A = this chain, B = another copy of it.
Amino acid sequence: MTDNTNTHPFDQAVQLTGTADSYEGHTSPHYANMVGPFGGITAATLLKAILIHPQRQGDPLSLTVNYAAPVADGRFHIQAKPVRTNRSTQHWYVELEQQGQVAATATAVCANRRHTWAATELPFPAVPAAQDVASLARAGFPAWVNQYDLRLIQGGMTPLVPIADPQTLVDSVSLLWIRDEPRRSLDFLSLTAIADTFFPRIYVRRQQFVPVGTVSFTLHFHADAAALAVVGERAVLGHARANRFYNNYFDQTAEVWSPEGDLLATSSQIVYFKE
């Protein structure tokens, strides 16, 4: 890949070439995780295959990504298929393949939304402004963490400091300001990746590393493109927690808010962990 210095590393990472029948992409060293790419960049790349598809109608409403196997560094192919198109919704199935094997799947719904009565029931958390919170020191984290400015208010982790008691914390709740580093205007693709930037809840709860991997990640969008444009390059507020850790798997539910308290997206995921 040629390094286009005019293009944000995020846009390089989600770049796809080819035709609608088979898009080709390439993993980015900037978004590398401990094994394979950061799951959020894979989710954004699968969504991008839909958004650039010539038959796409409407904006993303719902996305579920199933991580079937680690994505190996290098090329991958994506097929995005509109399985049903209605007047106001369009349903998609997407597969990411490497060496003829499925490494990830996604389903998604795009929709045309109209103005209606609206209400947000979940309260916006009481937090200090992003500029009043220190950025996370990123030494010791995988490469992708360097692509984000993370300002932790609650529920962080310190990879370089061994913790004597591995069950220090009573919960796994995290609350943090998040933005792309370098800055980039928020859109559906970057919001998708941002919604997966929360460290695995078991790291926060137990303050120690164990092998983990997201198995399934679901995102519901509660905002349209105009609302994301209002956020622009500013940080969004992320709030994440686990409900249950049980027999190799834990879940995570999370919300992403605009600085003004607009709920932009909610997510749930289920994550493998090994003891």
Contact residues of A with B, CB < 8 Å? 61-62, 64, 66, 68-69, 83-84, 86, 88-89, 91, 93, 95, 101-103, 105-107, 109, 111, 113-122, 171-172, 205, 215-216, 218, 220, 222-224, 241-249, 251, 253, 255, 263, 266, 268, 270, 272-275
- Could you say which residues of chain B place their CB within 8 Å of the CB of A247? 113-116, 118, 224
Q: Is the CB of B275 within 8 A of A255?
A: no
- Could you say which residues of chain B place their CB within 8 Å of the CB of A106? 107
Nearest-CB distance from A121 to chain B (Å)? 5
Q: Is the CB of A89 within 8 A of B121?
A: no
- Could you say which residues of chain B place their CB within 8 Å of the CB of A101? 84
Report the bound CA distance from A84 to B100 in whole Å.
11
Nearest-CB distance from A159 to chain B (Å)? 20
Closest 10 CB pairs of A and B: A68-B84, A113-B247, A62-B216, A64-B64, A68-B91, A218-B218, A122-B243, A222-B244, A220-B270, A83-B102
Nearest-CB distance from A178 to chain B (Å)? 18
Q: Is the CB of B93 within 8 A of A105?
A: yes
Q: Is the CB of A91 within 8 A of B84?
A: no
With known contacts A83-B68, A83-B102, A268–B117 Cβ distance under 8 A: no
- Could you say which residues of chain B place their CB within 8 Å of the CB of A84? 68-69, 101-103
Q: Is the CB of A121 within 8 A of B218?
A: no
Q: Is the CB of B95 within 8 A of A66?
A: no
Q: Is the CB of A121 within 8 A of B91?
A: no
- Could you say which residues of chain B place their CB within 8 Å of the CB of A246? 113, 116, 118, 120, 222-223, 263
Nearest-CB distance from A80 to chain B (Å)? 13
Report the bound CA distance from A31 to B243 in whole Å.
31
With known contacts A215-B62, A268-B266, A105–B91 Cβ distance under 8 A: yes
With known contacts A121-B172, A251-B266, A272-B89, A109–B243 Cβ distance under 8 A: no
Report the bound CA distance from A243 to B222 in whole Å.
9
Report the bound CA distance from A275 to B274 in whole Å.
47
Report the bound CA distance from A111 to B270 in whole Å.
12
Partner of A263, one of B119, B215, B244: B244
From A64, A111, A242, A244, residue with most partner B Cβ within 10 Å: A244
